[in-house]
Structure 1
Amino acid sequence: MNRRNTRAFAFGVLFSVCIIGIFYFRIAGTKVAEMNMDRAKNFLEDNGYVVLSKDKFAQIEKTLSTETNNVEKQQKPVTDPPKSEESVTAYQLEIVSGMVSRDIAEILAKEKIIDEADRFEIYLEENGYSKKIQLGSFHLTAKMSYKDIAKTITKS
């Protein structure tokens, strides 16, 4: 290709882009409705979403964390009587709505039922137990394996 052909090709591309741009911004732009805040909110609500302001969301999040903290305060460790020279730590775990595997792992690590919260959480995720956790009260001991604890809290 020589210089003249290259310029002609570039001019053709420029002309095509101009035609497409005019069509898009003039003709098609009038058909596209302007999306304002109320229309966007109504659209989301019609499709099953809940729209909250940042303040309302922060208030709900604060209430949820307060309730979770209250539940954690109510949960008290239970110790079994010593069967041998060493005592086995037992704990009555109460799982309430809104708790996730991370919360459960942290509580169990704090109560010395498991050694590491991160390892237990990874175990739950990798073996599919994190999506099957059930609400309720569960009796757990420090001698239970990760698998036993997972089966207990998922009732499987």
Structure 2
Amino acid sequence: MNRRNTRAFAFGVLISVCIIGIFYFNIGDKKIPEMNIDHAKNFLEEKGYVVLSKDKYDQMEKTLSNQTNKAEKEQSPLPDPPKSEESTAAYQLEIVSGMVSRDIAEILAKEKVIDDANRFEVYLEENGYSKKIQLGSFNLTAKMSYKDIAKIITKS
């Protein structure tokens, strides 16, 4: 390539960049129409949403909380049945695919089969039971030890 060809090539590149730049900066600016409140409300209502003013929302929230408070006041506490230490309720634990030891421990704590979900989860981890948990239904009682429960749910 000689000097004349190099200059012609550079001039062509410069002209091309200028043309592309003009199109980029001028054609790319399409104005988005501004939405006002009425257009926004209509758009939301078309999509299935309910539009409320702040005052109406606060009023509905206050009404709901008042109704909830009334319902709680009207609901009288039921007397607890007498507890006998000899009778322990059995709980049938259903372990499904995807459950981890944390989920199982929380369920058992909620059903009062174990006292502390965190302690039971740590027990399963430390003794290697957390990796051996089997799917299925298991009958458990509150009188069982952590070891008994772990052996039942791991079928070992």
TM-score, normalised via structure 1 length: 0.46
TM-score, normalised via structure 2 length: 0.46
Q: Answer with 1 or 2: which has the greater Rg.
A: 2
